[in-house]
Structure formats: C-alpha cells, structure tokens
Amino acid sequence: MMETIFQRLRATIEPGEILDVRVGLHWTGVLVRVAGERRLGLATTCVEPGHHYRTWHDVSDPGRLHHLDADSLMDRVYARSPVERSIGLATINALLPRHPHQWQEINAEAIIATAGAHKRVAIIGHFPFTERLRDQVGQLWVLELTPREGDIPATHIPTLLPQADIVAITSTTLINRTLPSVLKHKRPDALTLLLGPSTPLSPVLFDWGIDILSGAVVDNVEAVLSALSQGADFRQLHRLGVRLVSMRSEEKQ
C-alpha cells in the first residue's frame, strides 16, 4: 500500500530543480524551483532511536544531495533509513501540484474540535493541541508509539479505532510506514484526517479513505529554511512563515 501511495503521488508531481536540502533536528526541508517559483517542502525528521555506530549510514551522499535530481531524492522515500525517508517525502511535498482554490485557512485542531463535539475521537500521534481538545470533544484517545502521560500505547489501536467517530492520523505514519496498519482498523464511516506539516496536500490521498488533509504551506521560504537548519520546532517555524491549511474531499464538502 505504501509503495502504491507514493507511486500515485509521484505520478502527479511537477518538473522542478533541486536547490537545497536541509536535515534539521525536528524538520527536514527540500527547496525546489518549479516554473520559476521557489517552494519548500517539509517532513518530520525521523531518526532511529539511540545513537550508536552502524554498518550503514543514516544519509548517503551528504553534502551532495542538492546536486541530485528530483527522482533520486524522491526514491529515498523507500529507503531503509528513516532520515532518508524524511528527505524523500519532503521532496515529494515540494514538487506536488498546488491547489490553492481547495485550501481552507483552518487547522486540524479547529476541525476536530467542531466535528468532535459529543463524539469519540482517536488521534494517532501526540500533538501540542491534544490536551486542549479533551474538554471540547465527547471522548479523546491519544494513541502513541512512545506514549507520554495521558497517552495510550499504539498497541491499543486495533481495539479503540473501530469505536472512534473521528480518526486523526499523524502524517509521520507515511515516513515510519505505519499508515496502512492504522487505516485498516478505522470504521468506513469515521471522519478521517491526515494531519501535520508532513502531509502531502494532494487529492490522491482521498482514494485511501482519508476525508481531510491538514498540512502546511511555507510562505517565507528563506526564514523557514534557515530556522529548521538550526533546530527550530514547528511552533517556531509557524511564526516565521508557515501557513496551516486543510483540503476536504468532495464527499466531505
């Protein structure tokens, strides 16, 4: 399934020139030029847990990535290394066709708060806004691979997800390859969101039962690129020039 999703996304991308690749502490950015426009694609920087010497590298060809062509960088979405998969997804996000006429200036928190009143909400991944939602929805389950206080281990997804009326899934699942295992447990009628700055803003994903895409568009390319290179978290990037937008499938308009 993951390979098919990426193949479908890549079939829609626009020709572009790779200008820069940055792998920051929290975020990876790939800067491209498409039809004279500079675009910055984002993805969560995913790393293997722990720091130790390996027989393989987290990133091959470091220092040369900006000289590679777009296909070579996008191919890294299939790599063994989660850091390289982050680079691959950021490249795809940078080159996807833009659909500003479909973008709504609303973030995932607002959508979930409105739709989740008196309903059961499952969020896959811990987001900064999850605690604010607890008093706004009927019931909230936050399921995490590495649970914090108040979270539920992701091993409970098979039992809890079928009960949820609204399912919000972090787009990091595209990088760690867990999206198929999450989607198979949700109810067909559950309102389903894919959210986070790694989210490809492409209608292609609606074909997999996702109803709403809540992602990010970089407006201030230079400031965001510089900051993510120096360890900025998303709240810092947001203030510097990242806009949160959402796209809905035609069936959920």
Segment 212-224, tens digit of pLDDT: 999 999 999 999 9
Indicate if the pLDDT at residue 54 is higher than 70.
no
* 67/9 same-domain check: yes
Indicate if the pLDDT at residue 53 is higher than 80.
no
252 pLDDT tier (thresholds 50, 70, 90): low
Q: Mean pLDDT over residues 123-147, rounded?
A: 93
Q: Are the CB atoms for 76 and 15 separated by under 8 Å?
A: no
Which pLDDT tens digit goes with each residue over 24-47? 999 999 999 999 999 999 999 998
Instruction: Say what the pLDDT of residue 129 is.
Output: 93
Contacts of 80 (CB under 8 A, 6+ apart): 56
Residue 238: inside a domain, yes or no? no
* 88/105 same-domain check: no
* 75/93 same-domain check: yes
Q: Mean pLDDT over residues 182-202, rounded?
A: 97
Instruction: Look at the chain and report how many structural domains it folds into.
Output: 2
Three-state DSSP state, 186 = coil
10 pLDDT tier (thresholds 50, 70, 90): very high
Residue 233: inside a domain, yes or no? no
End residue of a domain, out of 59, 80, 99: 99
Three-state DSSP state, 61 = coil
Three-state DSSP state, 190 = coil
Output the domain CATH number for residue 66: 3.30.390.100
Residue 226: inside a domain, yes or no? no
Q: Mean pLDDT over residues 191-214, rounded?
A: 97
Output the domain CATH number for residue 140: 3.40.50.11590
End residue of a domain, out of 67, 99, 131: 99
Instruction: Say what the pLDDT of residue 51 is.
Output: 57
End residue of a domain, out of 70, 99, 128: 99
Query: Which amino acid is residue 12, in one-letter code?
Result: T
Q: Tell me the Ramachandran region of residue 111: left when phi exceeds 0, alpha when psi lies from -120 to 50, beta otherwise.
A: alpha
Domain containing residue 76: 2-99
